[in-house]
Chain A
Amino acid sequence: MEGDLNTTFRALADPTRRAILARLARGEASVLEIAEPFDMTQPAITKHLKVLERAGLIARGRDAQRRPCRLEPRRLKQAADWIGTYRRFWEESYSRLEDYLQELQPKEKPRDIKKTRDHRRTR
């Protein structure tokens, strides 16, 4: 399934597609409704929707007239576990590094209270 995840990452790399996902997080919508806030033609939006659908990030309804799009959160969560965010990756890493460096160093100076200032987020 590695390949699937790669497709998902490529789909998420585009700002318009991320904005479409954010719109669909509020509820399902037709192509027309999705296209409304964008300065883009409907075929251009349809193209983006196809990429998102192939990546498993959205699904489209059967209703031939409207074919509403809705979010498929499972795949998005999977990708999010991976990329997280750059900031979260490094904030957590540095916080762990700080603790680890304390362990490595001889404790000749009194330990300060910085640990209590670490705002650790759990997910």
Chain B
Amino acid sequence: MTSRKLEIIAEPGKTSFTTRRVVDAPRPLVFEAFTKCEHLKQWMGPRNLTMVSCESDLRVGGRYRFVFRGPDGKDVGFSGEFREIVPPSRIVRTFVFEPIPGSDCVETLDLEEHDGQTTINTLTQHRTVENRDGHVGSGMEGGMAEGYARLEELLAALSTR
């Protein structure tokens, strides 16, 4: 049985990181789920955030933008532009977490299907190691693992207060 865990690989000192996750669905359906707002609204984001707006102009040069509302009622956007679209297997797009304008990076989504299951591979390419670490480091991978781990503990402690 294939692992359903999310794998995140961020080698120290590199400007990119990769992730891998297997889902039990055929590739064309997963591709749709990743590109159409009617689907994205149903699953994207953790439960403490609500997707309040979704735009996805699926063509090369077209833009997408997702706006999430947090528990405090504040909205934050993620957006970018599609660079390459190969249904049902591949999407390349730019990505920026709007509160941090310098955080822009390029994401490549590759879908592989085996026996009715789809492996979702992502590659995120940043301009600097610092930006890469800032993006993924809070998951405790990468060179700054210790500092982030401590911050994680801190946040955990605060949330139980």
Q: Which residues of A contact B (CB under 8 A)?
A: 1-2, 5-6, 9-10, 12-13, 15, 18-19, 21-22, 25, 73, 76-78, 80-94, 96-102, 104-105, 112, 114, 117-118, 122-123
Contacts and interface: CB of A to CB of B under 8 A. Distances in A.
Contact of A1 (B47, B74, B133, B138): B74
Interface stretch (B53-61, B87-95, B142-150): B142-150
A22 to B, nearest CB: 4
Interface of B: 4, 6, 8, 19, 21, 23-25, 29-30, 33, 39, 42-49, 70-72, 74, 76, 99-100, 120, 130, 133-136, 138-140, 144, 147-148, 150-155, 157-159, 161
Contacts, number: 136
A104 B76 CA distance: 29
Contact of B48 (A19, A84, A94): A84
B44 A22 contact: no
Nearest to B42: A100
Contact of A98 (B24, B158, B159): B24
B138 A83 contact: yes
Nearest to B100: A9
In this complex, the member of A1, A10, A99 whose beta carbon has the largest number of chain B beta carbons within 10 angstroms is: A10
Contacts of B71: 81
